[in-house]
A and B are shown apart, each in its own frame.
Chain A
Amino acid sequence: MSDLLFDGAMEYAARAMDWSYRRQELLTSNLANLNTPGYKAQDLDFTRIMADACGTPGPDRLHTTHPAHIPAGTGETSAHTVPRADGGRLDGNTVNLAREMAGLAENSYLYQTLQRSVGQKLRLLKQAISGGG
């Protein structure tokens, strides 16, 4: 039986939307703290998120050896947050306005793309339920 409709794509997209929203929280924090001395701009480490999602073993990661184990660390924002060290100002603040604004636009489009793909998947389901009518 073909699993065209329930292939997990919707779940992946939903999870990606969650990450995208978490990035939004970090980007808005960076903007709010544009003038806070010593504040380090935060961003998500997508390489690590991807590695975690794919289950790539890492030296600093906990592994589940039993199906009943609860995976530790995955899905946590703090574990995937990296402070941006470059481009610091004299007051120790590393927020770069242009970069945050670009990130905001990029993130917004990513979120919309994911939202649309979830919508399309649902539309497919609806079509199948109604017999293509």
Chain B
Amino acid sequence: MGVFDALDISLSGMDAQAKRLELISSNLANARTTRSDEGNVYRRKDIVFSAVPQQTAGRGGFAGEVRGHKVVCAGVVEDGRAPKRVHDPSHPDADEAGFVEYPNIEPLEEMVHMMEAIRTYEANITGFNTTKEMIKKALEIGR
């Protein structure tokens, strides 16, 4: 844990939210995608965050002391919700009964998540800038 680790923590928060935004964009872009490499219909994707303790380097009696938590992306999960079944016999992916399976994606839900991700990203930028100002101030001592 050094002086710049507080900046690293803020960066990890920004990075995590950026990854989350990628998945949200992907969900919105594929709201009506009926074909994908994993199977037939696109499934809504979500990110799993995990807090990783930041410890001091092995020196002196305080080695291994936890001084903050970075956030990391622990993985991407697929939503288990059943696809929406829409009657459209002319669609090439329709089954024998004439139903097409569309991804169960609610644009409103994705927008709410997007807003949350953007706000968290901004909060981390503010955190980064305050830390930066503090380091700058410390460098001014004795000037």
The answer to whether B66 touches A27, judged by C-beta atoms less than 8 angstroms apart, is no
Contacting B124 at CB < 8 Å: which of A31, A77, A112?
A31
**Inside 8 A of A32's CB, which chain B residues have their CB?**
9-10, 12-13, 16, 69-71, 124, 127
In the complex, how many angstroms separate the beta carbon of B89 from the nearest chain A beta carbon?
A: 42
Residue total for B at the interface (Cβ-Cβ under 8 A): 44
**Known A31-B124, A108-B133; contact A77-B10, beta-carbon cutoff 8 A:** no
**Known A97-B119, A101-B123; contact A39-B69, beta-carbon cutoff 8 A:** yes
The answer to whether B65 touches A31, judged by C-beta atoms less than 8 angstroms apart, is no
Judge whether B41 is part of the interface by a CB distance below 8 angstroms.
Answer: no
**Known A21-B6, A77-B65, A78-B66; contact A35-B130, beta-carbon cutoff 8 A:** no
Contact residues on A (Cβ < 8 Å of other chain), bracket: 35 or more
A82-133 residues at the B interface, CB under 8 angstroms: 97, 100-101, 104-105, 107-108, 111-112, 115, 118-119, 122
Contacting A75 at CB < 8 Å: which of B13, B62, B138, B141?
B62
**Inside 8 A of B49's CB, which chain A residues have their CB?**
33, 35-37
